[in-house]
Amino acid sequence: MTLAIDLSPDEEARLAATARQEGLDPAAFVHKLVAERLRALTPDENPQDPTLALFAQWEKEDARMTPEEAAAENRLWEQFAQGVNETRAALGMRRL
């Protein structure tokens, strides 16, 4: 797709200067900006952020758990939280 954009002389000068700093011609720089913005606005099936990818993986794993496995995981979490809170209480800190 080809688009024509009317820029003021100031906007044109700022675009040219910024593109030059990026080592790109103005058209390539604008293309890069638009592509990055569209990626940010579009839900991605494979998130680039490793933390989001890990959360998605855990969510899929949790969905495949049997009720017994989920109960066992909950018991482990409760034991962990109890241990953390016991340590925090011994140190005079608030419970989580």
* pLDDT bracket for residue 80 (50, 70, 90): very high
pLDDT, tens digit, 9 for 90 and up, residues 85-95: 999 999 999 99
Q: What does the DSSP assignment read for 29-66? A: HHHHHHHHHHHHHS--SS-SSHHHHHHHHHHHHHHT--
Which pLDDT does position 45 carry in this prediction? Answer: 60
pLDDT, tens digit, 9 for 90 and up, residues 20-29: 999 999 999 9
| Domains in the chain: boundaries | 9-41, 50-90
